[in-house]
Every structure is written in C-alpha cells, then in structure tokens.
Structure 1
Amino acid sequence: MIEKVRAYYDTFGMREWQRLERTDEGRVELYLTCQTLSSYLPKSARILDIGGGPGRYTLWFAERGYQVVLADLSPELIKIAQEKVSASHVASHVEEMVVADARDLSRWKDASFDAVVALGPFYHLPDAVDRESAACEIVRVLRPGGRAFVALMPRYAFLRRTLALKNEQHRLIDPSFIYHVLEQGIFLNDQPGAFTGGYGVRPEEIEPFFSRYGLVMETLLAAQGIVPDLQEELTRLAQGNPAAYQAMLDIIIRTASDPSILGMANHLLYVGRKQS
C-alpha cells in the first residue's frame, strides 16, 4: 500500500506546490495552518517537516528564522523542494531534504527537534500498527515540551470525496466500501493512480490516541474552518469585498475548534505538547 501512496504523490509534481496558494481550499488551509503554527511555535526552534512534500511549509519556517529538516515519502516532491529551497534566500536554514517514512525516523536521534510537523502521513496509515509506529517515532524525536502538529482526515471526508468525483460514485452502492469507511476508517480506491490508502478518524478518538504516546492535546481544529464547501464563494468575497473577506477569515479562525464542525471537516489539525 505504501508504494501506491508514494506513486500517487510522485505524479503530483508542481500541483502539490501550487495547491496551497492557487486553489480555494488550499488558501484557507494555508492561512489557518500558518496562524496556528505562529501561535504555538517558540521564537526559535529546530523543526522536522515530515511529509512536507515540495517544501511549502519548510520555506515558511525558514523564512521566519527556524532551522528545518524536510522529509517526504516521494522522491519527486523532494526534488521540487530542493529546487525551491536552492532558489530561495533562506537555504541556509534548511539542514537537509531527504526521502523518509514517518513510521521510521531512525535517521534522527531521540529528542532532537523542538517541533514535528506531519501534515500528511497520518491520513495515509490505514494499518493500526503503522499509526502506532508513526506516533511513537514523532514523540521520540521531540524534545520534552516540544509540539507535534498533525493533519488528520475525518471519516466522512472520504464519503464526501467519493460523492464529488463522478468516476468514483459507483462505490456508494458497495456495502463493503461503506462498511470499511464508516466502521474502520479505511479508504481503498479502485481507480488506478487515484488517492488511496486513506485512514479517517473519529474526532473524539484523537486526543486519547495521542495521549497514549505522551502528548497533551492543546487544540484540535477544522483546517478549512466552517467553510469546507464554500471556499469558491470566499475567494469571490476576497475579490469583491476585502474587508468582509478578512472578517470572515477571523471568524473561521475563531470557530475552527468548535467540536460541532470537526466531523464534517475535510482535514483536521491536531496540536499536542510532549510531556516532560
């Protein structure tokens, strides 16, 4: 399964770099994530960006003076990151860019990072043993008091995704597919080259899961806030009424942790602190 996930992201190329700035969904996610990172990161830190793809967040960290290590499952996305970092004025802040798997961070010593950012790996780990390995590894390389920022997907997001894609809608009448998504959180795709190997969480299970590995939850957010299906309208608002757009962004930030919206989010962002 991991090879299918790697192959899927290898085909992304520049699309993954552009997604966070040039798509409606990506812009809201980028804004909310950066606001959250700014709120919880210390003024100086060494950060592991695991699953960081082409380096969008790695560069964001480097531009703010952090020391960063970027790792990703996809060699193709790492190549793009290397090009982007080399062309930047902050390359000295990026220590290395390597291919690595979130389940095995043995390349790095215990307690070697002030923060670990994992904005992709956990919703591609349908096997419980793999999720446990990734959680253990993230906590192991964190220093006491360090923070983990982890992206997750709720189970309903996979059904909504299936409904939205015409060539995948046939799966909605497949009882086995529905059972695996709703009861086990497992999303396997029968479309060649498409998103697959997904794992969807129940929001109420997130805090106890990470607490088993020594993390204390500080917040859990819907990464697109209350507008997961209205982001095109939000973009039009930005163009026609910038003041109202900024007011709406402020509302999105203020309400992103409302428990009533978490299960219907496209992505979730967990922030946890490693106990001393």
Structure 2
Amino acid sequence: MEKVIEYYKQFDEWGRLDRQPIEFQVNLHYIKKYLPSSGAILDNGAGPGKYSMELARSSYEITLTDLTPKSVEDAKRKAKEFNLTEKFDGFHVADARNLKVLSNQQFDAALMLGPLYHIQEERDRIQAVKELYRVTKNEGLVFVAFMPRVRHIFTSLQFPENWRPNNSMDAINRFDQTGCFNHLDEGRFTGAYYFNIEDIQPFMESIGFKTIELIGSNVGASLSEREWNYWWQKGEQEKLLELLIEKARDPYLLGSSSHLLYIGKKKG
C-alpha cells in the first residue's frame, strides 16, 4: 500500500470533491437519508475528512481513520479550522484491513468511501469488509464506495492514451476479466480494483450485511466540462443536482456512474 500512501501525500482529495461536487452531494444526500439522528460514526479511509466535517456539524460523534498520515493530519487541521475538533472521538492512521485501534461493535454507522477500490487482492478486500463488520453495531448502517468496471472500460475507450495501458483492446479485454488496473504513467491514479456491478451485493451480503440500496454517486459522469458549465451558467445547478439525486437510484444507470455507493445494514 506504499504507492497509495505516496499518491495521497501529493493528491488533493478535498479539492477533487470540490471540483466534482455532484459525487459528494449525491453521496451526502443518501448518507443523511439513512443515518440515525445521532450516534457514533466511523469514517474509514476518510482522506482529509470532507464527509466527516459535514457530519460533525450535525449531532454525531465522529472517528476518522486513514492509511495516509498526511491525510489524517490534514483532517485534524480541517477540524480545527471549522471549530469541530470536539466532535471527533479520534483521528487514527490505520489500514482498513486492520482496524485494531477500534473496538468491536463501536459504531452506529460506518463509512468506507475509498479503501475498497485501492485493494486489488480479493482476500484483502474481504478482510477490509470483515473489519468494517466487526466495528459496526448490530443493525448498524454501512456506506461503502465502489468503482464500476464497465464505466472504466468505456472511459478507456474514450480516452485510451489517458488510461494507459488501456490503450489497446487486448489490455481492455484483460481488464474486463480481472478488474485490476495499474496506470503506466508515473504519479497517476494508484493501482485499483473495479467491481462488476452484479457482484457488489452478493459480496457484501456474504460478509453479513443486508442490502438497502445501491446508488450511482455520479450518473452524469459522462458529461463533459463544457456540458456541465452550460447548466451552471444558466443557474440551473440545483435542479440538475435534484435530477441526478433522483436518477442515482435507477439500476439501469449504475454503469454510467464513476462511483457507486452501497448502503447496507449489519445483520444482528
């Protein structure tokens, strides 16, 4: 996981969610829709804590973990900047596969909005979700991010030189079979794993979760910057967001989204 740590030491994840606000706003809408009115929440693999800060403004007690020390330090600074430090129970450098700093059934709800697509080995993905299961209370909610394989196939077809080695059909066909992607260009997105959409629900349920919903965090991901700007300049961004929140639940559009959000409950 050293490459992941190195990547996020340099990458501005907070800024990414500012530059791509639809993903953040859609996820936050559905997280808030299902969360209890109060309780202890884990933000596991939180990066600099953009979701944590938003939830800390409500009546939740937040625990933040991330693999990258710099991200954890950034989150501490953000909490101080927003006068939210007292709403945090802890900031921990921790691997999603080993949350030994956390207790069994500690949280009423848990977010894991990044780690799974950085873990290429199946046994490690299973271990990460088992750890999420362990630290979540019975009947507690989980919100887990995935990246859909089919979306990356078509992104590679559209922009092959931007997603090397997926600039040949042989490479794209291999990716289609394995779901593993390792960028050839130094400093670009880390090695990643993309799920087949139909495998997400069985995967989570095999570890003990009951599925509530699977939504597309950004079903408008195929729109170009020019196309987004058209609606922004017309002042219709709020209506566009409302539409994308509604269409996020359409199962026929999941493959068009750059990220997916699994919402489930730990079986008691």
Taking structure 2 as the reference length, what is the TM-score of the superposition?
A: 0.93
Q: Which amino acid aligns with 1:274?
A: K
Work out the number of aligned pairs and report it.
Answer: 266
Q: Which amino acid aligns with 2:13?
A: E
Deviations 1:55-101 (A, max 9, x none): 11111111112100111111111121111111222210011112111
Q: Which amino acid aligns with 1:217?
A: T
Look up the SS of the partner of 1:261 in the other structure.
helix
Look up the SS of the partner of 2:153 in the other structure.
helix
Counterpart of 2:44 in structure 1 is 50
2:160–2:168 CA contact under 8 A, matched in 1? no
Q: Which amino acid aligns with 1:229?
A: S
Deviations 1:86-137 (A, max 9, x none): 1222210011112111111111111000111011001111100001101100
Counterpart of 2:166 in structure 1 is 171
Look up the SS of the partner of 1:144 in the other structure.
strand
Matched, 1:131 2:131: no
2:180–2:194 CA contact under 8 A, matched in 1? yes
Q: Which amino acid aligns with 2:80?
A: S
2:147–2:194 CA contact under 8 A, matched in 1? yes
Query: Which segment drifts farther, 140-149 or 253-262?
Result: 253-262
Q: How does 1:107-146 map to 2 (within 5 A)?
A: 107-146=101-140
Cα distance in 1 for partners of 2:218, 2:163 equals 23
1:158–1:181 CA contact under 8 A, matched in 2? no
C-alpha root-mean-square deviation of aligned residues, in Å? 1.7
Look up the SS of the partner of 1:270 in the other structure.
strand
Structure 2 portions without partners, runs of 5+: none
Q: How far off is 1:161 after superposition?
A: 4.4
Matched, 1:80 2:74: yes
Matched, 1:272 2:267: no
Matched, 1:18 2:15: yes
Correspondence for 1:220 among 210, 214, 220? 214
Cα distance in 1 for partners of 2:83, 2:106 equals 25
Matched, 1:230 2:223: yes
Matched, 1:101 2:98: no
Pair 37,169 (structure 1): closer, same or farther in 2 beyond 3 Å: same
Cα distance in 2 for partners of 1:170, 1:131 equals 24
1:180–1:187 CA contact under 8 A, matched in 2? no
Correspondence for 1:261 among 238, 242, 253? 253
Taking structure 1 as the reference length, what is the TM-score of the superposition?
A: 0.91
Deviations 1:116-167 (A, max 9, x none): 1011001111100001101100011000111110010011333344443635
Cα distance in 1 for partners of 2:163, 2:182 equals 11
Cα distance in 1 for partners of 2:35, 2:224 equals 27
Counterpart of 2:241 in structure 1 is 249
Look up the SS of the partner of 1:195 in the other structure.
coil
Deviations 1:209-237 (A, max 9, x none): 11111111111011112x11226333431
Query: Which segment drifts farther, 89-98 or 27-36?
Result: 89-98
Cα distance in 1 for partners of 2:244, 2:163 equals 30
Look up the SS of the partner of 1:254 in the other structure.
helix
Q: Which amino acid aligns with 2:87?
A: H
% identical equivalent positions: 34
Q: Which amino acid aligns with 1:228?
A: A
Give runs of ≥4 in structure 1 deviating > 4 Å: none
Counterpart of 1:8 in structure 2 is 7
Deviations 1:154-197 (A, max 9, x none): 1133334444363544532262x324310111111222222122
Structure 1 portions without partners, runs of 5+: none
